[in-house]
Amino acid sequence: MTATPLNPRDPRVDETANDRFKRAFDAWLWNSVILATLVHLAVFAFSPQLTAGDLSATARVLTALELPPVIDIPEPPQPIARPALPVIASTDVAEHVTIERTTWQDNPVDDLPPPPAQLTTEVPSERPFFPYDVAPRVRNVDEVLRSLEREYPATLRQVGIGGTVSVLFYIDREGRVQETRIERSSGHAALDRAALAVSTVYRFSPALNRDRAVAVWVSIPITFEVR
């Protein structure tokens, strides 16, 4: 194989490798663009068709409700005061009882009231009366107060009904209560029964006539009261 001599007038005689690269660049560029275009067309032609998902949304219809009318709430009632404890009345017994003089002129027979159907203040004859200088005294006041609170009828206490019951006590020489009875009613049978129940709790010191203990009858008011 023989080499063909170059024409001295051919411009490629003095052409360098860089010049040849520049001369071939345009062909490479257009070939690359054509090839990229064909590749993109093939991708779009043979790729599966893509579809967007359903992005729709449903809105709920809100219904406006009418507010109820404003109600004025009254102020709370005042607290109910706690009922006070019942108190026991004084047990002082008068040593001497006097009766004013009665005359027929001041009290005509026609104006006298009828006698009571039953006399409840009568002292039995088998229990004689003895005079005394020192009256019997209650020795268990605290226990009597607790009994008053316990025996006070709840129905009467709640409505504020009270009263005083005068009770006769027969106290022996040892200060023990031998008998009790109603001298004057309170007007409420329930309070009278409660007073008799309380009277069984009383304990006394004996009455004294000078230096001698004597048996006596004494009248003591028992009061049921709500304060």
Tell me the domain boundaries of the chain.
Answer: 129-224
CATH code that applies to domain 129-224? 3.30.2420.10
d(CA 144, CA 203): 9
pLDDT for the residue 46: 79
pLDDT for the residue 196: 92
- pLDDT values of the chain reduced to their tens digit, one per residue, 227 residues: 455 555 555 555 566 777 777 777 777 788 888 888 888 888 877 777 777 777 777 777 888 888 888 888 888 888 877 776 776 666 665 666 555 666 656 666 566 566 555 444 444 444 456 677 888 889 899 999 999 889 998 888 888 888 899 999 998 889 899 899 998 988 888 899 999 999 999 999 998 888 888 888 888 999 998 77
DSSP 133: S
- Nearest Cα residue to 182 out of 136, 128, 220, 137: 220
Three-state DSSP at 25 gives helix
pLDDT for the residue 197: 92
Three-state DSSP at 199 gives helix
Phi and psi, residue 208, nearest 5°: -125, 130
From the CB of residue 217, how many other CB atoms can be counted at a distance below 10 Å?
Answer: 19
pLDDT for the residue 121: 43
pLDDT for the residue 125: 43
pLDDT for the residue 114: 64
- Nearest Cα residue to 224 out of 176, 167, 140, 139: 167
pTM of this prediction exceeds 0.95: no
pLDDT for the residue 94: 62
Torsion-angle region of residue 105: left (phi > 0), alpha (psi -120 to 50) or beta? alpha
- Nearest Cα residue to 175 out of 204, 202, 199: 204
Paired residues of 166 in beta bridges: 184, 221
216-224 and 163-171 beta bridge pairing: antiparallel
